[in-house]
Amino acid sequence: MVTEPLVGATQEFVLTPKLATSWNQTSPTTWEFKLRDDVKFHNGQPMTANEVKFTLDRTCKLNAASREMADYKSSRVIDDHTIEVTTNTNIPILPAILHYSNFGIIHPDSLNAQGNFSIPVGTGPMMYDSFDQQTRVFTVKKNPDYWAGTVKLDGVVFSSVPDHNSRTLAIEKGDIDFTVDLPYNEAERIDALPGITVEKYLTPRVYVLYVNFDRAPLQDIRLRQALSLAINRTDIVNHVLYGIGQPAKGFFLPSMSFGNKNLEQLPYDPVKAKALLAEMGYKDTNGDGIVEKDGQPLTINLITATNRPALSPMAETIGSDLKAIGIQSKVEVMASAAGNDRVSAGTYDLNLVANNIAMVPDPGYILPKWFKSTGDTNKGHYKNATLDAQIDDAMHTVDDKERLAKWNKVEADAYDLLPIIPVADYGVLIVKKDTVQGYKFDPTAHDYALDYEITITE
Amino acid sequence: MHYYLIKRLGFLVLTIIAASALAFFMLHAVPGETAENVARHTIVGMEDSVSAEVAQEISSKYNLNDPIWIQYTNWLSGLIFRGDLGSSYVYKDTSVMTLISLALGPTIILAIASMLIVIVVGIPLGMYCAVHENRPSDLIIRGATILSISFPSFWLALMLILVFSLMLNLLPVAGYGSPANIVLPAVALALHPTAVVLRIVRTSMLETLGQQYITFAIAKGLSFGHILWNHAIKNALIPVLTLLGVYFGHLLAGTVIIENIFAWPGIGNLLISSVDARDIPVVTSCIVVIVAMFLIVNFVVDISYHFIDPRIRYE
Amino acid sequence: MTLLSIHDLNVRFPTGEGTVHASRDVSFSMESGEVLGLVGETGSGKSVIGQAIIRLLPSNANITGTIAFNGQELTTLKDDAMHALRGRSISLVPQNPSGSLDPLLRNGMQIGEIFIERGTAKNTAWEKACDLLVTVGLIPSEQIAKEYPHELSGGMRQRLTTSIAIAENSRLIIADEPTKGLDFHARETTARVLSEIKKRDNASLLLITHDLYLAEHLCDWIAVLYAGEIVEIGPAGQIFNTPRHPYTQALIRAMPKNGLVPLDGQSPSLMAIPEGCCFADRCSCHSERCSKEHPDLIQESLNGGVRCHHPFSS
Ligand SMILES: Nc1ncnc2c1ncn2[C@@H]1O[C@H](COP(=O)(O)OP(=O)(O)OP(=O)(O)O)[C@@H](O)[C@H]1O
Ligand SMILES: [Mg+2]
């Protein structure tokens, strides 16, 4: 809200101009961005290519995630409102990466004499007012000179109230106007309170099961299919997530323009799941309800972390779904650091996580991480040369349409192969007083963002 | 006495060092790579997975590849020789000293406010109950203490908010800064210790009132008020002092639940968020500060016995 | 002039197991300047009588009979009037000095607070306290005054409580075993102090004691208590020279100078008082009548009598 990136995105994750009016790839490793000429920083200075270069250089120097994604080499000021960005390799999704909040354009005045970041001087609808180091209360005030329109709110105070009950009580009392993240089971009660509305949205995050391919017999596609068929996604969304979220349909949210629209929700069919297990040679020979092969019961160790509230009940539910088809499931819930250790040690079968899928609004963000044998997030060590080749091809395809088609194919193939088993899309709750008007949820923002048209009526 | 003081102080310092070592080594023993955890908490975009290069970068920046005991000795020598607690891994470039001093103020203020409530309410009411033993007022007050002891503090805190913020609209729900903000957390924190102190004071007072020196004081012809003030209260409070010290120590350690509910920027919140992010210098330093405060409070209590109770003499 | 006159005093303590009848039909009187000794073995009800007079029995005690002090009836006296008597007209040397001193108060203050509460300046009160310490032989008084009770020996504490009892010119001093735990020398001092006070203020002294030697030297009258009742009462000389009750005789025989002859047996429980003579079980000359019929106190004079069916005659 204080800073803005060069590239914007719609609710459907389609890129739009923001501080840049247009861009095009001039060679496999160079891009040219045309900048708006009517934008002023909060200190009154006009925004030019110099500040953009300053921001890109600085962000890629300091933020490892940004540097790695963009594979940034350098940038060059062509004129006041034109900048050329050079990458080390061909990164067709560079504009999408630059949408990312880390690339919000700042003025060098943001740094203090020692070169450390002190206060953000950006171009957004709100400008920095104060920050209390002790209470972490952050206040911003209206930018009277906003390029995109008139800002309706005079300012916003962000205070951190970590306890959700206190947040609810604070909005009930009227101490605050807007908050997020309630316990799911509270949504209905709070929504029923006079003057307060609770809205549900999907964020670019999905609950998925990571599969450990170093463990037999998970390499067998029939077992992964059986696992997927055993999971009652609709029930999980209704009862574990209280309807906040939605059964996965492909790997992306339905609202994302770049998802494969032909993919359907994975079916729930325990009978078929059992048949697949039987085909693999697993039968319940001793009548204990658990299937065996060569005298060994089929056991699945499902781990998950406590860092997101729905993970633990969801894991328990999946555990009992697996039991229902005769798999002996062992569910373990732990602190996320402990979970990471287990993943590094490879001592698990399935790992239930809630993973961000569109930090960068492009399929090229998550699909390679997940499905390439060298992918960052491919912690289950899935290896498939065909898929690797398809991904490499898609990543370096310059034509947007063609690239999208290739990604859709990768998504569909992975949906069949199930290196990762999707469960549900992640939902969030926005709680606001009825006096707050004009709020638009921005699913592409990494954190909750307030739009410049938001206002409070008396 | 001097010898005793030196001995106690020496012991205090050793305990603090031992606690810091324990905290330091335990944190390293907890599952999860420190560098990886720090990255997840500090680098936007790395919540789900951390690349090896980044982890390596963080490790070398904070010398996380050194053997643990070297890391610890570095930290400890910084503390001893430079009075420096190191810098935070998470709040980049902020010294731990700054973070702790920011958090300590709110915690101390809250602890003192709660302690005042405990003392001002718990002690006189305990006395009142003892003097009115088994009368209706005594029974009502004791009933209330049972309630306050048996309900968990977070629930009481929420009830307080419900009544005083929402229904009566007298006080803010949560936050820090204005004097009105301290009332509810201080009361919420004080309820439990007040109830316990009240009951202990009552029991101690009844026991004292049954002592022969009270009977003899009556025989001396002293007035009831004089006996209460000059004999009963002083004697009855001696066992309570230790309890007050322990409670004060606890309050100074910060209280995660109440700080969380009231968004109070105290040391409990700092500690918990730092444990989560594996911010080892901050966690270790918080523990050192908490242990030190606890020991100092109890040390002061012990020493004060020396002045209050002539039967206790430290040699 | 009669200072204290007790008539038919009965004290009962209701307890969980039954009623303890600690004091039964006790009657005696004291003139100003006289010393009356209450003797008897442990549990015979000596302290209960003392506490009944100064009204310090626990609130559950059931008291009947009359206690007239200086013409005032104490059992029905208003609380504040009683309060005004305590420490000024009637004072007490408590039985257990260690428990009776506030551990947190300097010795001087234990005495001085009496004066301070009545409006004396702090340093004057302190000086008066030191003088009293000297009186009871606690020297150097300045230093002892600054110390705390736990720094004193048992005997010193005993003398400290005595000094408290004589702080004001009480008409009646109830001294509950003032020589308990004292060595010979200290006993002499206490005995001397008490008799001096008696002379100085023409005070009366109710001396509760096991110490028959002290009683013989100090008392004008002796009342012998057994199981809560007076079994013999009379002038001290008469009691010691020609005791008439077998129990009195046994007590005197048990004195060190008479060869420490112990008395066998136990006194009856105060919750189940026997029908006949309470001492019958232990008596060498009891008859059948003794076990059946409770003997009355054969009152020969106001403070003279014996409760026995077969008293020795003089
Ligand atoms: N508050 C009380 N409740 C019940 N019984 C009591 C109470 N006070 C005294 N008694 C009983 O009354 C009896 C007489 O007690 P008292 O203290 O007068 O004995 P004593 O003659 O002074 O003995 P000693 O020489 O040991 O002091 C005892 O049996 C005692 O147990
Ligand atoms: Mg006694």
Q: Is the pLDDT score of B207 beyond 80?
A: yes
Q: What is the mean pLDDT of residues C159-163?
A: 90
Chain B residues whose C-beta is within 8 A of a chain C C-beta are 211-213, 215-223, 226, 230-231, 234-235, 238, 308-311
Q: For ligand 1, atom 6, which residue shows the shortest CA distance?
A: C13
The predicted structure's pLDDT at residue A50: 92
> What per-residue confidence (pLDDT) applies to A114?
81
Is the pLDDT at C226 greater than 80? The verdict is yes
For the CA of C16, the nearest ligand = 1
Q: Is the pLDDT of residue C258 over 80?
A: no
Whether B172 shows a pLDDT value over 90: the answer reads: no
Taking the CB of residue A109, how many other CB atoms lie within 10 A of it? Answer: 15
d(CA C236, CA C233): 9
Q: Give residues with Cβ within 8 angstroms of C20, minimum separation 6.
A: C12, C13, C14, C270, C271
Instruction: pLDDT band for B312, please (50, 70, 90 cuts).
Output: confident
C-alpha distances in Å from residue B286, one per residue of B33, B100, B175: 21, 7, 22
CA separation for the pair A30, C6 (Å, rounded): 119
Q: Is C288 exposed, middle or buried (0-12, 13-18, 19+ CB in 10 A)?
A: exposed
The pLDDT value given to residue A301: 94
Residue B207 identity: E
Nearest CA in chain B to C115: B222
- The residue type of A349 is D
Beta bridge partners of A76: A84
CB contact under 8 A, C86 and B308: no
B138 neighbors B129 (Cβ within 8 angstroms): yes
Q: Which residues of A touch B (CB under 8 A)?
A: 63-66, 68-69, 100-102, 116, 133-136, 159-163, 165-166, 169-170, 172-173, 175, 334-338, 340-342, 344, 353, 355-356, 359, 369, 376-377, 379, 446
Q: Is the pLDDT of residue B186 over 60?
A: yes
Residue A451: predicted pLDDT: 65
Cβ proximity of B176 and B263 under 8 Å: yes
The confidence score (pLDDT) of residue A67 equals 83
Which residues of chain A have a pLDDT value below 50? Answer: none
Q: Is the pLDDT of residue B33 over 80?
A: no
Query: C210 C-alpha vs ligand 2 centroid, how far in Å?
Result: 9
Chain A positions in Cβ-Cβ contact with residue B98 (cut-off 8 Å):
133
* Cβ-nearest to C54 among B219, B222, B311: B219
Taking contacts as CB-CB distances below 8 angstroms, the residues of chain B near A170 are 173-174
- Quote the pLDDT of residue C118: 86
Is residue C20 in contact with ligand 1, taking CB distance under 6 Å? yes
Name chain C contacts of B220, Cβ cutoff 8 Å: 86-87, 91, 113-114, 164
The CA C45 to ligand 1 mean position distance, Å, reads 6
When the pLDDT of each residue in chain C is averaged and rounded to a whole number, the result is 88
Taking the C-alpha atoms of residue C109 and residue C106, their distance in angstroms, rounded to an integer, is 5
Q: Which of A100, A133, A377 sits opposite B48 (nearest CB)?
A: A377
* pLDDT number for residue A457: 65
| Chains with ≥3 CB–CB distances under 8 Å to C | B
C19 lines ligand 1 (CB under 6 A): no
pLDDT score, position C314 = 57
- Which residue is closest in CA terms to ligand 1's atom 1? C58
- The ipTM, to two decimals, is 0.90
Give the per-residue pLDDT at A443.
Answer: 79
Q: Is pLDDT above 80 for B43?
A: no
pLDDT (tens digit per residue) in C167-194: 888 889 999 988 887 788 888 888 888 8
| Average pLDDT, integer, range C47-66 | 92
Chains C and A touch (3+ CB pairs under 8 A): no
Instruction: Report which residue type is found at A199.
Output: E
CB atoms within 10 A of CB B262: 30
For residues C265 and C251, give the distance between their C-alpha atoms in angstroms, rounded to a whole number. Answer: 13
| Closest CA to ligand 1's atom 30 | C43
Residue B54 near chain A (CB below 8 Å): yes
Q: Flag whether pLDDT at B46 surpasses 90.
A: no
Q: Does C237 touch chain B (CB under 8 A)?
A: no
More confident residue, B156 or B1: B156
CA-to-CA separations, A119 to A60, A107, A123, A140, A283, in angstroms, rounded:
19, 10, 13, 11, 65
Would you call A163 and B261 a contact, using CB atoms and an 8 Å cutoff? yes
Q: Note the pLDDT of residue B308.
A: 85
Token digits of residue B61: 């920046």
Any bridge partners for residue C299, and if so which?
C305
pLDDT digits 0-9 by tens, C83-93: 999 989 999 99
Are the Cβ atoms of A173 and B173 closer than 8 angstroms?
yes
A73-87, A408-422, B237-251, C254-268 — which is least confidently predicted? C254-268
- Residue closest to C47 by CA, chosen among C92, C84, C106, C102: C92
Q: How far apart are CA C152 and CA B157, in angstroms?
A: 52
pLDDT score recorded for residue A458:
56
Residue C101 touches partner B, C-beta closer than 8 Å: yes
Chain A's closest residue to B173, CA to CA, is A170
Which of C26, C38, C44 for a ligand 1 pocket mutation test, highest count of atoms within 8 Å of Cβ?
A: C44
How many CA within 13 A on the CB side of residue A388? 10
User: C195 C-alpha vs ligand 1 centroid, how far in Å?
Assistant: 27
pTM over 0.90: no
C192 close contact with B: CB closer than 8 A: no
> What is the pLDDT at residue B93?
66
B225-230: Cβ within 8 A, 24+ apart:
B226/C113, B226/C117, B228/B127, B228/B131, B230/C102, B230/C105, B230/C113
Q: Summarize the confidence of residues B170-174 as an average pLDDT.
A: 86
SS3 assignment for chain B: CHHHHHHHHHHHHHHHHHHHHHHHHHHHHCCCCHHHHHHHHHCCCCCCCCCHHHHHHHHHHCCCCCCHHHHHHHHHHHHHHHCCCCECCCCCCCEHHHHHHHHHHHHHHHHHHHHHHHHHHHHHHHHHHHHCCCCHHHHHHHHHHHHHHHCCHHHHHHHHHHHHHHHCCCCCCCCCCCHHHHHHHHHHHHHHHHHHHHHHHHHHHHHHHCCHHHHHHHHCCCCHHHHHHHHHHHHHHHHHHHHHHHHHHHHHCCCHHHHHHCCCCCHHHHHHHHHHHCCHHHHHHHHHHHHHHHHHHHHHHHHHHHHHCCCCCCC
Q: Which residues pair with B224 in a beta bridge?
A: none
> In angstroms, rounded to a whole number, what is the distance separating the alpha carbons of residues A392 and C154?
98
- The protein residue with its alpha carbon nearest to ligand 1, atom 11, reads C22
Q: Is C44 in the pocket of ligand 1 (CB under 6 A)?
A: yes
